[in-house]
Amino acid sequence: MSAIAGPSGPQPTATYDSAFLRACRRESVPHTPVWFMRQAGRSLPEYRKVREGIPMLESCMRPDLVAEITLQPVRRHNVDAAIYFSDIVVPLKAIGIDLDIKPGVGPVVENPIRTRADLARLRDLTPEDIPYVTEAIGLLTAELGETPLIGFAGAPFTLASYLVEGGPSRNHEHTKALMYGDPQLWADLLDRLAEITGAFLKVQIEAGASAVQLFDSWVGALAPADYRRSVLPASAKVFEAVAPYGVPRIHFGVGTGELLGLMGEAGADVVGVDWRVPMNEAARRVGPGKALQGNLDPAVLFAGQEAVEAKACEVLSAAADLEGHIFNLGHGVLPSTDPDALTRLVEYVHTQSAL
């Protein structure tokens, strides 16, 4: 792969010319780039080892650990991008929201946000609130060489769901009660969260992230009309905040088949697709001018190498006519996944797509 001239900015030329960033820009690639959502984390024994005895949020605030955990899957799997190890609630913790990540439960917010008075607790995020992010990314870009680092943030709807419910929720009833019942308070809440999220991503880009992914984990719980009215403006504000940097902006949520077009409209350069919608159908819904990322069912990795290759081949075939394709799972790596199955999958996609 030859290096081409990149824009001025923090990216070294070799990174700018990586298969991952080229695919994000819908340029030709030597092979389909691959990375995995949640590649840094629970499926790796070396991750469990370094996390031993260290609570989740603490691990997100220790630059040495963040760098080590982010690098582990790059070393092991030969993936085409690193994803910054963090948690969706890190920026909320950083501005002083009283929350914790409880093992086996997820983020728990001591005092949920449900009234206009509660909004005052969502103050602006400044770089000084998250020195560990800048430091960790400094460590990472030095180590990663030409492998791009993807910045990470949760999208306003998903953050709002944690804040309003007070923790993970299957049905999001308090969140939706607020959204449907008090649209102005809801809009103001999401706007606040968009400011915070935009600031969180800016810090990551200024420190050296070459792309960002905005995770809207729970937004698949909404119908398109509600997404357009109640979520899209805030997500668009996040994407606008980082637009001046010119780095690719990826947007993903699970169960978002009905929302793919709108998630692109919100300002994503790359739309992530879960496994429920074939890639060619996803491309039709998203329309031209966007790359797509996805979409092997993470559960396929439990079915043996033959099945994995057959399904990965189906994904590559369905994505063959895309303007830009980044291979990924259709959701995060499941905790009990065999890491070797992931390594073999990277090799398979690289080999198969280079033919």
Question: Which of the ranges 83-91, 155-163, 269-277, 340-348 carries the binding residues for a second copy, by CB under 8 A?
Answer: 269-277
- Among the listed residues 87, 100, 146, 297, the single contact to a second copy using CB under 8 A: 297
174 binds a second copy (CB under 8 A): yes
Residues 40, 45: Cα–Cα separation, whole Å: 11
Max CA distance (Å), the chain = 59
Q: How far is the CB of 4 from a second copy (least distance, A)?
A: 37
Residues in the chain: 355
- Among the listed residues 25, 76, 123, 276, the single contact to a second copy using CB under 8 A: 276
Q: Using CB under 8 A, which residues numbered 176 to 235 contact a second copy?
A: 176-181, 220-225
- Among the listed residues 4, 105, 142, 303, the single contact to a second copy using CB under 8 A: 303
Structure tokens at 254: 């699970």
- Among the listed residues 206, 258, 309, 323, the single contact to a second copy using CB under 8 A: 258
103 binds a second copy (CB under 8 A): no
Q: How far is the CB of 336 from a second copy (least distance, A)?
A: 7
Q: Mind giving me the DSSP string for 45-61?
A: HHHHHHHTT--HHHHHT
Question: Which of the ranges 68-76, 151-159, 250-258, 284-292 carries the binding residues for a second copy, by CB under 8 A?
Answer: 250-258
Structure tokens at 198: 């935009």
Residues 248, 149: Cα–Cα separation, whole Å: 11
Residues 132-171 as x/- pattern, contact with a second copy by CB under 8 A: ---------------------------------------x
Query: Could you give the dihedral angle defined by the CA atoms of residues 154, 155, 158 and 159, in that order, rounded to the nearest 10 degrees?
Result: 70
Whether the Cβ atoms of residue 51 and residue 62 lie closer than 8 Å to each other: no
Residues 201, 203: Cα–Cα separation, whole Å: 5
Q: How far is the CB of 48 from a second copy (least distance, A)?
A: 19
The H-assigned helical ranges of 166-292 are 173-181, 183-207, 224-230, 232-242, 260-265, 279-286
Q: How far is the CB of 10 from a second copy (least distance, A)?
A: 37
Binding residues for a second copy (CB under 8 A): 171-181, 220-225, 255, 257-258, 275-278, 297-300, 302-304, 307, 311, 314, 334, 336
